[in-house]
Structure 1
Amino acid sequence: MATTTTSPMSAVARRVARRGIVQHLIAADEASLGELQALLATLPICATGRVFVEVPDASWIGALDVPGRMTVSWLDRSRRTGRVGSGRSCHRGEALARAVNAWADEMMCADDDRTRVFLLGGYLGTADIVDHLGEHLGRDAATLHVPAEYGLA
């Protein structure tokens, strides 16, 4: 008996797939803010998608110049907990991986999904995201933009 790990397609994901829009999923942390700003500067003004930025605390949150159809979510580690039930504080990469994986499960479920994925965060969070996208959504790691030194693609 085969089981599937993909969830039903959300209404938003159906609209995106129907219109043939290529969306962007961008994940970064405090160590990659410069790379993030450089990447955002290269996107077309009509780009759509989501940017997740994990930071140590609220003092790191600031304005980012993103295309009007993109949403930025700041993930403040100091206000989050670690693994469910552990009682521990949130480690670097945990909040980012949880948020990106949840978004991907909802928005990247079409068979012909062409979302452009840029993972700029630290190794552990990026590795968790790459594993999730491959195992649960069937995404080939070679289609993801990750730092070459991580050896994940």
Structure 2
Amino acid sequence: MTVPMTAVAPHYLLVGETSDIPLLRTIVERLPLDAYGQIFVEVIGHGQIQDWDVPENMTLTWLRRDLSSRAYGGVALRGEVASRAVMAWVSEWIPERKSARDLPYILWIGCSANDEVDRLYHHLLHRFERLHLHHPDFG
């Protein structure tokens, strides 16, 4: 007996900062209505938070740098909060080995020209071969 293969919907992670908002909004508008995943947008503070319509199964999280202090105090550096959020997401969602949660993952990571985010992108690119990964500076 042959078991029919069913397509598994991808899990999306879209990450950016204020300069990425127009492109992120365009990406979100083009997602399928049943898209599943998370959107993280790093902003300096409350004044940069916007209302967005997102697919029902997507969550939008605003990462405020002013609420995430550095070890020595003050506002977190650009890209720092986004990088921590991505690493936490990877720890939760992407298994180290094949498992029941071995879904297709599609990641778009903005925050271009940020060294910390660029290092994170390269780390993910080399560590997880099954990621469909995009970054504005690297294609």
CA distance in 2 between counterparts of 1:115 and 1:140 reads: 11
Q: Which residues of 2 match residues 7-46 of structure 1 at below 5 A? A: 20-46=8-34
Partner of 1:143, secondary structure, is strand
Equivalent residue, structure 2, for 1:89? 75
CA distance in 1 between counterparts of 2:42 and 2:25 reads: 14
CA distance in 2 between counterparts of 1:65 and 1:129 reads: 28
CA distance in 1 between counterparts of 2:46 and 2:76 reads: 14
Cα RMSD of the aligned pairs, angstroms, is 2.3
Cα deviation code 1:91-126 (max 9, x no counterpart): 000000001110111101153442100112233243
Q: Which has the higher strand share?
A: 2
Contact 2:104/2:130, CA 8 A, preserved across alignment: no
Cα deviation code 1:50-100 (max 9, x no counterpart): 000000110111111210001111011111113xx3435300000000011
Contact 2:13/2:106, CA 8 A, preserved across alignment: yes
Aligned-partner residue type, residue 119 of structure 1: I
Partner of 2:82, secondary structure, is helix
Tell me how far 1:132 sits from its aligned partner: 3.8
1:121 aligned residue (84, 108, 111):
111
Percent of aligned pairs with the same amino acid: 27
CA distance in 1 between counterparts of 2:56 and 2:37 reads: 10
1:143 aligns to 2:132 (yes or no): yes
Superposition TM-score, scaled by structure 2 size? 0.80
Contact 1:93/1:122, CA 8 A, preserved across alignment: no
Mark the CA change 1:141 to 1:29 in structure 2 (over 3 Å): closer, same or farther: farther
Contact 1:35/1:120, CA 8 A, preserved across alignment: no
CA distance in 2 between counterparts of 1:143 and 1:27 reads: 14
CA distance in 2 between counterparts of 1:134 and 1:105 reads: 15
1:63 aligns to 2:51 (yes or no): yes
Partner of 1:21, secondary structure, is coil
Q: Which has the higher helix share?
A: 1
CA distance in 2 between counterparts of 1:143 and 1:115 reads: 6
The total of aligned residue pairs comes to 128
Superposition TM-score, scaled by structure 1 size? 0.73
Segments of structure 1 that go 5 or more residues without pairing to the other structure are: 1-18
